Structure 1
Amino acid sequence: MAGPGDTGSVDARRMLVQACLNGARELAQHPRLTADATLAAADAARAVAAGAGDIHVHPKDAAGHDSVAPDHVAEWVRALRAACPGIPIGVTTGAWTEPDVERRLAAIEAWTELPDHASVNWHEAGADEVAVALRRRGVGVEAGIWDGTGFEAWRDSPVRGECLRVLIELPDEAADVVRTHAEGLIAHVRAEDAEVPILLHGEERSAWPALALAVELGLDTRIGFEDTLVLPDGRSAFDNAALVRAAMGVVSAS
């Protein structure tokens, strides 16, 4: 895979494009957002057919709220595995799913259907403990870094070296600041670990500029309804597969 600063073409077969299916969005924000794991799994299968090589999902309860409860995680992971055989499945462990760290840890310890990986936001309280619990269960850890606070917590973490990848996550911000923001965080991560895979992505206004920058720099990336509901031209995306197809178009054009 090309490294940062390499402006050569990107090999789409080697660059990971992860589909982030839903996020913490309200179901009313798009007709394809659902609390039904089976429907979400069908959407995921279409995204994989469009080129996604990995799935990130927020398991939901019946009301559509994010959950780390063992029964919800099992239902969603099982449905996605059945629909997308051989594709790694990841879930969230965001603090909003269960604000009490001890209860969140207990939920992870009680998971019966283990995802391949789970994201941990390192700016949140209890990140180290959550990462340790995941690794103890054999679940890979995606280290979510939004800002300097998260970076410093990850840098000083005793489990930093066990992370599957680092997610550099850009907030909803103007396209003209995406490069500066992203390259600053990338440089900090690379100074600590030159080899850890980096997945760069943004949300809302920064989603497509961040994806294009990831392709330029030869980094992994992601796209899906968690990050944006619109295609690069601003039109509403029909489903996650439409977003992945657009992303693969950016990759193949590089």
Structure 2
Amino acid sequence: MMSSSDASRHGYVLAVAPNGARKTHRDHPRLPITPAELARCARECLDAGASMMHLHVRKGDGTHSLEIEDYAPAVAAVRQAVGQALVIQLTTEAVGIYAPAQQMAVVRALRPEAASVAVRELVPTEVSGAEEAAEAEAGAFFHWMRDEGVVAQYILYDADDVRRYAALRARGVIPADGHWVLFVLGRYSVGQTSSPADLVPFLAVWRELGLDRSGIEWAVCAFGRQEAACAAAAILLGGHARIGFENNMLLPSGEVAADNAALLGAVRASVEGLGYGVCDAAALRRMTAR
């Protein structure tokens, strides 16, 4: 597996998160919701440099869904549009609707190429005395993902989450390889806006615990108009970035982006003059292979 220190030589990953769980066409007319809209967005973002799509789907009433009957047509539409040129990563986000058993069940049923999982959702620290059972169930699921070739991306919201991820990995609850992580910058900041400085606590703990030598890749996502700046900081420090309307619709200028592809273009413009090149899906697959 490629180490983060080699990332600038081999390219950085741009993942697109084009819609999220809550936004609608009222927020932006080019926010993709239907399978056809997601397919169009996938083609546009592939052309703009994305190697992965982080996929949310909706029920018929527009609300968040983890249901197989909603995921299947969206995945099929994106695959028809771009083939294997994008890694499709399913979300397992609960959004206050789904329990861990349901979050895990949809991944087991669909067996996607990749899925994102929030450590604090699937391995809660307080479950009315049922912590050990919850941890064991989550651990079995994480190892199933690895064994089945479903690449997990563990979502970490703060430095304490990084410490917990490291402890779970050290105890074997989280496998040692076959996955990567996502640092969510600014989730708990005033106005839920991010700045590049928000990355510092994550990386301080990451290095303190020796995870910078683990071979595990990391990426960031960020909120607000400094999304591209946060992504650039991550890339310059050896990481990768997830960009898109899920968390932000503003260009660095403060103008509303025309579409998700425009946000990807802003990141590329900020780093490629420094010699950093975007990688394709094949490189991402090699990066996160067991």
Give TM class, smaller chain.
Answer: 0.7 to 0.9
2:270 corresponds in structure 1 to 250
Note the 1:109-128 alignment, pairs <5 A.
Answer: 109-111=108-110, 114-126=111-123, 128=139
CA deviation string 1:83-120 (max 9, x = no partner): 12221110111122743222333333332xx4210101
Q: Distance in 2 between matches of 1:148 and 1:176?
A: 15
| 1:130–1:203 CA distance, 2 compared to 1 (3 A) | farther
Q: Is the 8 A contact 1:200 1:221 kept in 2?
A: yes
Aligned pairs (5 A) from 1:76-225: 76-86=74-84, 87-96=86-95, 98-111=97-110, 114-126=111-123, 128=139, 130-135=141-146, 137-157=148-168, 158-171=173-186, 172-173=192-193, 175=195, 177-188=197-208, 190-191=210-211, 194-225=214-245
Cα pair 2:90 2:116 within 8 Å, conserved: yes
Q: 2:279 matched to which residue of 1?
A: none
Q: Deviations over 1:133-170 (max 9, x none)?
A: 53454311001111134223322322241442111111
- The question of 1:43 aligning with 2:58 is answered no
Report how many aligned residue pairs link the two structures.
Answer: 248
Residues 59-98 of structure 1: CA deviation (Å, up to 9, x unaligned):
2222222222111121111111111222111011112274
Rounded Cα–Cα distance in structure 2 between residues aligned with 1:206 and 1:182? 18
SS at match of 2:183: strand
2:94–2:121 CA contact under 8 A, matched in 1: yes
| Regions of 4+ moved over 3 Å | 1-4, 125-130, 132-138, 188-193
Matched residue of 1:91: which SS?
Answer: strand
2:14 is aligned with what amino acid? V
SS in 2 for 1:119: strand
Determine the C-alpha separation between the residues in 1 that align with 2:210 and 2:82: 32
Q: Hey, what's the Cα distance between the residues in 2 that align with 1:2 and 1:108? A: 27
CA contact (8 A) 1:10 1:252 kept: no
Residue 106 of structure 1 aligns with an amino acid whose one-letter code is: A
Distance 1:26 1:47, change over 3 A: same
Greater CA drift, 75-84 or 206-215 = 206-215
Between the aligned partners of 2:120 and 2:209, the Cα distance in structure 1 is 15
Q: Distance in 2 between matches of 1:151 and 1:34?
A: 32
Distance 1:72 1:131, change over 3 A: farther
Quickly say closer, same or farther: Cα 1:251–1:243, change in 2 above 3 A: same
TM-score, normalised by the number of residues in structure 2? 0.75
SS of the residue corresponding to residue 248 of structure 2 reads coil
Aligned match of 2:278: none
Q: Distance in 1 between matches of 2:196 and 2:87?
A: 33
How many Å separate the matches in 2 of 1:79 and 1:45? 11
Return closer, same or farther for 1:134/1:10 CA change in 2, 3 Å cut-off: closer
| Partner-residue secondary structure (3-state), 2:242 | strand
Does structure 1 retain, via aligned residues, the 8 Å contact 2:20–2:247?
yes
Q: Describe the SS at the equivalent of 2:64.
A: coil
Q: CA 1:121 to 1:110, structure 2 compared with 1: closer, same or farther past 3 Å?
A: same
Three-state SS of the structure 2 residue aligned to 1:169 is strand
Give me the whole-angstrom Cα distance separating, in 1, the residues matched to 2:43 and 2:185. 26
Pair 1:161–1:242, CA change in 2 (3 A): same
Question: 1:102 and 1:175 mapped to 2: Cα distance?
Answer: 35
Q: 1:23 to 1:130 in 2, by over 3 A?
A: farther
| Unaligned segments of structure 2, at least 5 residues | 124-137, 187-191, 275-290
> For the residues of structure 2 that align with 1:145 and 1:3, how far apart are their CA atoms?
17
State the shift of 1:130 in Å. 4.7
* Preserved CA contact (<8 Å) 1:204 1:228: yes
